[in-house]
Amino acid sequence: MEDMTERQLLETAVQLAETNAATGQRPFGAIIVLHGRIIAEGVNTALASGDPTEHAEVQAIRAACATLSTEDLSGAVVYTSCEPCVMCQATGVVTNVERMVFAASSAEAAEMGFPASSRATGMQGQWRKAAPTYVVRGDIPPTLAREPFAAWNARRTTGSVV
């Protein structure tokens, strides 16, 4: 695990997202890496729970904090299947996450059926200007980054929605 590349870490997050979509949940997954090791993972469980704050990144951060018995994730990096929304970015900031690396962009997510509100998009743009290196796109092919959304859309079009 110590030898995993950024690409492999992103693939892990994308696989979590794809598996989550296959179970009828939204196609988002994230992992937390600290000192080269994956210490926590999370997937979007908002549909199952009815809790709209259960985004993959938030879930992964909650799990990491619970595992380490701390609210301080200094040095940790979030690898996520999709560009984090403002709630997830804020959760990373308040827990001292070092940075967040994503696979699919918000624009790609929107194209695949998950548009953000204009207000959220506007805030995201402002935050990017304020902290341009905090949330960055990782090294992963766009086709691979889109796979969780494809799995979600395939499941919906075949009528096997939960």
Exposed, middle or buried by CB within 10 Å (0-12, 13-18, 19+), for 119? exposed
Query: Is 18 an annotated catalytic residue?
Result: no
Q: Are 102 and 138 in contact (CB under 8 A)?
A: yes
Whole-number Å distance between alpha carbons of 137 and 102 = 5
Q: What mask, x for binding Zn ion by CB under 5 A, covers residues 41 to 60?
A: --------------x-----
Cβ density class 93-103: b for 16+ within 10 Å, e for less: eebebeebbbb
Pairing of strands 37-43, 77-82: unpaired
Nearer to Zn ion, 9 or 78 (CB): 78
Look at residue 120 and give its three-state secondary structure: helix
152 DSSP assignment? H
Nearer to Zn ion, 49 or 160 (CB): 49
Q: Are 58 and 74 in contact (CB under 8 A)?
A: no
Which residue of the set 18, 54, 57, 147 is catalytic? 57
Nearer to Zn ion, 47 or 87 (CB): 87
Q: Which of 13, 73, 88, 135 binds Zn ion (CB under 5 A)?
A: 88
Is 16 a binding residue for Zn ion by CB under 5 A? The answer is no
Nearer to Zn ion, 38 or 123 (CB): 123
Q: How far is the CB of 153 from Zn ion (least distance, A)?
A: 20
Q: Which of 85, 103, 109, 145 binds Zn ion (CB under 5 A)?
A: 85
Q: How far is the CB of 84 from Zn ion (least distance, A)?
A: 5
Is 103 a binding residue for Zn ion by CB under 5 A? The answer is no
Which residues sit at the interface with Zn ion, rule CB under 5 A?
55, 85, 87-88
**Which residues are known to be catalytic?**
57
